[in-house]
Amino acid sequence: MLRAEYATRGPVPQDVIDAVEFTPPPLAEGQALVQVLAAPINPSDVLTLTGQYGLLPPLPAIGGNEGVGRIAALGPGTSAPPVGTTVMLPPGSGTWATHLVAEAGKCVPLPGGVDPQQLAMLTINPPTASLMLSDYVTLAPGDWVIQDAANSAVGGYVVQLAKLRGYRTVNVVRRESAVAPVQASGGDVVLVDGADLARRVAAATGKAPIKLAIDAVGGASTDHLASCLAPGGTLVNYGMMGGEPCQVSPANFVFKDVTLRGFWLAFWFRNATPAQVQALFGEMATLVAGGKLSARVAATFDVREIKRAVALAAAGEREGKVLVVPKA
């Protein structure tokens, strides 16, 4: 059995992590041994390895915060989920591994017969997209939403969920080569970012009022989105892919009354009721199982190839998610 461990953090994320062999301890009551089927490498995972994320586990640690697996064995007196069940792995359980030991009660059963690679990405990005679309602005069918980083995994889920809910999307990317993939995924309008973004958005939408903007880039891109909003609009930031803090001009803050909010899924989990969590994941799992929600996969790697996997995930100009898929 293998897992990807790191004992330090540093500026080059692939340099601090290695695949090491391990033997799981005997299972206690209430525990399950889970065979990992697939686990993604998210931007937050890379930031955790470099020490720049908002929540850092104590060292040494095992990489990976989400994924999907199959129950391989149960501890004494434990009967559920049954052996063989496909489950969502508990968040933060160190999922870049061939196997892991988890509390059986925290392993959420998932539909069988569904692509495990798509199920593996269920825990973080789809809920992020869904909540940003619903929790800040009341939208109606036909309304427009604008986002940057539209070619990211979250961006792709925003496009799909918006379409399912009847909203139209303006999708901003940072390079011309990203336009076609976002158009192919269903984006209504796709534009390359720039200082004149507001003019081009107004032309593309017929000057439709836009109440919600979603930002993952930061820097000047935040202000470009703010310039596209209607007076009183809300801009939600969930990342800093550009490496710079959010910038919003007084012209947008003062004269357009734009509101800038931050979103972190960890805060939502802390405050949500079990019923709310169950409802959200139930909806997302149903959509994935029905083929209505998916994300592009750029590459898959075995646990032994974790350094290559992390290096690719940390690199730019990549279309799709990098997944750790342990070899059988």
Report the length, in residues, of the chain: 328
Q: Are 69 and 37 in contact (CB under 8 A)?
A: yes
Spatial strand order in the sheet of 17-21: 17-21, 2-6, 61-62
Alpha helices, DSSP H only, in the chain?
43-50, 116-119, 125-134, 153-164, 179-184, 197-205, 220-228, 250-253, 265-271, 274-289, 306-314
- Strand partners of residue 219: 246
Q: What residues are annotated to the active site?
A: 53
Tokens, residue 91 = 């968040």
Taking the C-alpha atoms of residue 198 and residue 195, their distance in angstroms, rounded to an integer, is 8
Of 182, 192, 168, 201, nearest to 295 by C-alpha is 182
306-318: burial string, b at 16+ Cβ within 10 Å, e else? bbebbbbbbeeee
Q: Are 124 and 104 in contact (CB under 8 A)?
A: no
